[in-house]
């Protein structure tokens, strides 16, 4: 199937194809012999998909595109400081083969001009005989295949490369190179003669875009801590004395070579490669530059392109009056949450939390902090949290707590560095909770502790005082209670399993139970939690169906069970009792449904109505 990317690539290719400006590099005799009109264009994504146009499998010598790669190897071998002591990172505005050092620092101005590149080659670790093989392996790791060398081009340059030898000896005389400069120059000639296709080059660029790891092989070609520096010098110096125009019109870190290749990188996104051997006066491929300009425009790749200003990372925000937890509540608690639930606010964040998104989210939370007692910051949809964002969130929590407000994070993936505490919100160590529901329950408890002084869930109830019986007369209760079966379960035990037949209507006398389902990946999700004074198991008892979910005792549990047989028998022996019980059950079912429906509205509709 032809994609939009294929179409754009083909259009750019067509627009550049007839441009025959420029000439072959002829100062290396062998390069003057290559077919001048070969042309190809490749784009590789940071996850390794390659789009190609033209003859993308033609091999050519990498030439100066080797410079950032060897510089990266020198950084890895010697460390950034040792390399910086020998090679600066200032754009020179000079031709690539200028025989010059910075007059003040007496160092090569950058690793993209030959003086810097020969110095970088001299810094590659290993015995002289092994160093080239290390370089070749390193480039191969970028490309994801074993690369070879063009011996003719190497021999040709080695025979005629007097200017580079002059640079090598100059570096030796200034003490930048301390060993035999001929070795460093020879290594440099060899690295320039390594052959690549434009497909290879696009994958090498994609490897840099992917922070140094080849997306197809998973091999690390360059440690992430050095990628930024390599891309920096490509940005400021990669296109030699045309670097300024390149940044303005293409806006990508890039490197060209006199073999006609150009490689450009959009960090985190894609790598681009063009091969077309005719060069302009700077030594850059004419169609390479043109194609990169066109591609950058068509694909909107300029790295300083401002798509939109950073938006807040807040996806939605609501109070616990609008969306409640799955903890079933007493009538008084429900009323208190409806009246005072706006004192606890949830902020759901999403996307990558970098500086700008975190800053505006934290600012919004702080702006509303006076109106709340509890804040939940939900990070479960956040992909990545930068160090500075982590610091800002920790600071937000400290500030809120200093103002006497409670703050909890939902952070199942541990973005904040703290391990999320267990499913049981009662053990809220550090108040980093594994799921939004536990956090909602925690926020509700903050509100209820302040605003609901009566009618809270009791520690325990006696069977006769259970709210299910509140509509019965005392004598009716007195004759029913002795017929209930009182059972106890230790905390952590499973009371019933999904599909089990009904044990009856279970009246909770003390303790807590949760209905849970196990997801496809094995994680357990809580559906509802019930506590003393509540009932469960009505549906299977009334309909004769099996349980829809597992039911587990969260704590030691005491139940009084009205068995299915007893319930059926009441129809004959005490129909008025049965009717009163059913009225109570129906009323409670509708209240629960009401709570669920309100919550759906606040947390975001499941179905959008056009």
**CB-based burial, 215-253: b 16+ in 10 Å, e otherwise:** bbbeeebbeeebbebbbebbbbbbbbbbbeebbeebbbb
What is the DSSP annotation of 248-299? HHT-S-EEE-TTSEEEEEETTTEEEEEE---B-TTS-BHHHHHHHHHHHHHT
240 has catalytic annotation:
yes
Catalytic-role residue among 258, 265, 365, 513: 258
CB of 362 to ligand GLN, least distance (A): 48
Helix (H, G, I), strand (E, B) or coil at 53: strand
Helix (H) or strand (E) holding 14: helix 4-17
Catalytic-role residue among 40, 56, 64, 317: 64
Encoding tokens for residue 251?
């806006």
φ and ψ at residue 609, rounded to 5 degrees: -95, 120
The residue at minimum Cβ distance from ligand GLN is 64
318 annotated as belonging to a binding site for a ligand? no
What is the DSSP annotation of 428-443? -GGGEESSHHHHHHHH
CB of 169 to ligand GLN, least distance (A): 15
Q: Residue 116 forms beta bridges with which residues?
A: none
Cβ burial of 530 (10 Å; 0-12, 13-18, 19+) is: buried
114 annotated as belonging to a binding site for a ligand? yes
CB of 19 to ligand GLN, least distance (A): 20
297 has catalytic annotation:
no
| Cα-to-chain-centroid distance, residue 259 | 38
Helix (H, G, I), strand (E, B) or coil at 132: helix
Nearest to ligand GLN of 157, 200 (CB atom):
157
What's the Rg (C-alpha) of the chain? Answer: 36
Q: In the complex, which residues of this chain contact ligand GLN (CB under 6 A)?
A: 63-64, 96-97, 114, 157, 164, 192, 257-258, 283
Cα separation of 376 and 324, whole Å? Answer: 13
Catalytic-role residue among 51, 71, 139, 240: 240
Nearest to ligand GLN of 263, 434 (CB atom):
263
Q: What are the Cα distances from residue 463, in Å, to 159, 329, 455, 564? A: 102, 19, 17, 18
Q: Which DSSP category does 216 fall into?
A: T
Nearest to ligand GLN of 13, 189 (CB atom):
189
188 has catalytic annotation:
yes
CB of 219 to ligand GLN, least distance (A): 26
258 annotated as belonging to a binding site for a ligand? yes
385 annotated as belonging to a binding site for a ligand? no
Nearest to ligand GLN of 251, 259 (CB atom):
259
Nearest to ligand GLN of 283, 511 (CB atom):
283
Catalytic-role residue among 51, 71, 188, 347: 188
CB of 96 to ligand GLN, least distance (A): 5
Question: Could you tell me whether strands 406-410 and 432-433 are parallel, antiparallel, or unpaired per DSSP bridges?
Answer: parallel
14 annotated as belonging to a binding site for a ligand? no
Nearest to ligand GLN of 117, 420 (CB atom):
117
Nearest to ligand GLN of 92, 164 (CB atom):
164
Long-range contacts of 214-217 (CB under 8 A, 24+ apart): 214/48, 214/141, 214/142, 214/143, 214/144, 215/44, 215/45, 215/46, 215/47, 215/48, 216/48, 216/144, 217/141, 217/144
CB of 67 to ligand GLN, least distance (A): 8
Strands in 188-238 per DSSP E: 195-196
Nearest to ligand GLN of 285, 327 (CB atom):
285
Asked if residue 472 lies in contact with residue 580, where contact means CB atoms within 8 angstroms, the answer is: yes
64 has catalytic annotation:
yes
Binding site, residues?
64, 114, 157, 164, 188, 240, 258
Which residues belong to the active site? 64, 67, 188, 240, 258
């Amino acid at each position: 199937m032809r994609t939009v990317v294929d179409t754009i690539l083909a259009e750019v290719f067509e627009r550049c194809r007839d441009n025959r400006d420029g000439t072959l590099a002829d100062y290396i005799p062998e390069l003057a012999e290559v077919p001048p009109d070969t042309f190809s264009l490749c784009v590789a994504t940071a996850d390794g998909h390659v789009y190609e146009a033209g003859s993308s499998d033609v091999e050519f010598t990498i030439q100066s595109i080797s410079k950032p790669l060897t510089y990266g190897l020198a950084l890895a071998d010697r460390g950034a400081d040792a390399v910086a002591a020998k090679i600066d990172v200032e754009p020179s505005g000079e031709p690539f083969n200028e025989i010059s050092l910075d007059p003040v620092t007496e160092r090569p101005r950058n690793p993209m001009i030959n003086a810097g590149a020969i110095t970088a080659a001299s810094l590659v670790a290993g015995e002289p005989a092994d160093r080239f093989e290390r370089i070749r392996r390193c480039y191969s790791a970028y490309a994801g295949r074993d690369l070879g060398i063009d011996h003719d081009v190497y021999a040709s340059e080695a025979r005629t490369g007097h200017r580079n030898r002059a640079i090598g000896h100059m570096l030796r005389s200034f003490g930048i190179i301390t060993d035999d400069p001929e070795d460093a120059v020879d290594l440099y000639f060899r690295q320039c003669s390594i052959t690549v296709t434009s497909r290879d080059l696009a994958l090498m660029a994609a490897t840099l875009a992917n922070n140094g790891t080849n997306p197809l092989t998973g091999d690390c070609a360059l440690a992430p801590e050095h990628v930024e520096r390599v891309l920096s010098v490509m940005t400021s110096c990669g296109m030699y004395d045309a670097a300024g125009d390149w940044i303005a019109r293409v806006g990508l870190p890039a490197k060209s070579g006199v073999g006609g290749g150009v490689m450009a990188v959009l960090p985190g996104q894609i790598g681009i490669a063009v091969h077309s051997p005719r060069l302009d006066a700077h030594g850059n491929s004419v169609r390479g530059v043109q194609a990169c300009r066109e591609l950058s425009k068509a694909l909107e790749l300029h790295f300083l392109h401002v798509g939109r200003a950073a938006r807040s990372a807040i996806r939605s925000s609501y109070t616990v009056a609008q969306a409640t937890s799955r903890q079933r509540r007493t009538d008084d608690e429900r009323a208190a949450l409806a009246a005072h639930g706006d004192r606890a606010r949830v902020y759901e964040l999403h996307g990558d939390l970098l500086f700008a998104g975190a800053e505006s989210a934290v600012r919004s939370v702080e702006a509303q902090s006076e109106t709340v007692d509890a804040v939940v910051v939900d990070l479960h949809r956040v992909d990545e949290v930068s160090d500075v964002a982590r610091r800002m969130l920790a600071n937000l929590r400290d500030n809120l707590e200093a103002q006497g407000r409670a703050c909890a994070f939902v952070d199942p993936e541990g973005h904040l560095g703290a391990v999320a505490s267990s499913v049981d919100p009662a053990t809220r160590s550090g108040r980093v909770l594994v799921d939004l529901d536990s956090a909602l329950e925690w926020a509700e408890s903050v509100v209820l502790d302040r605003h609901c002084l009566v009618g809270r869930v009791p520690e325990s109830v006696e069977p006769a005082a259970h709210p299910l019986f509140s509509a019965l007369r005392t004598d009716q209760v007195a004759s029913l209670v002795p017929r209930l079966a009182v059972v106890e379960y230790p905390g952590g035990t499973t009371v019933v399993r999904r599909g089990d037949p009904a044990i009856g209507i279970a009246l909770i006398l003390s303790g807590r139970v949760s209905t849970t389902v196990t997801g496809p990946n094995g994680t357990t999700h809580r559906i509802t939690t019930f506590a003393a004074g509540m009932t469960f198991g009505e549906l299977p008892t009334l309909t004769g169906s099996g349980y829809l979910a597992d039911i587990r005792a969260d704590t030691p549990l005491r139940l009084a069970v009205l068995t299915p047989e007893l319930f059926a028998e009441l129809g004959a022996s005490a129909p008025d009792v049965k009717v009163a019980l059913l009225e109570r059950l129906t009323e409670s079912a509708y209240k629960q449904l009401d709570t669920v429906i309100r919550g759906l509205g606040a947390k975001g509709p499941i179905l959008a109505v056009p």
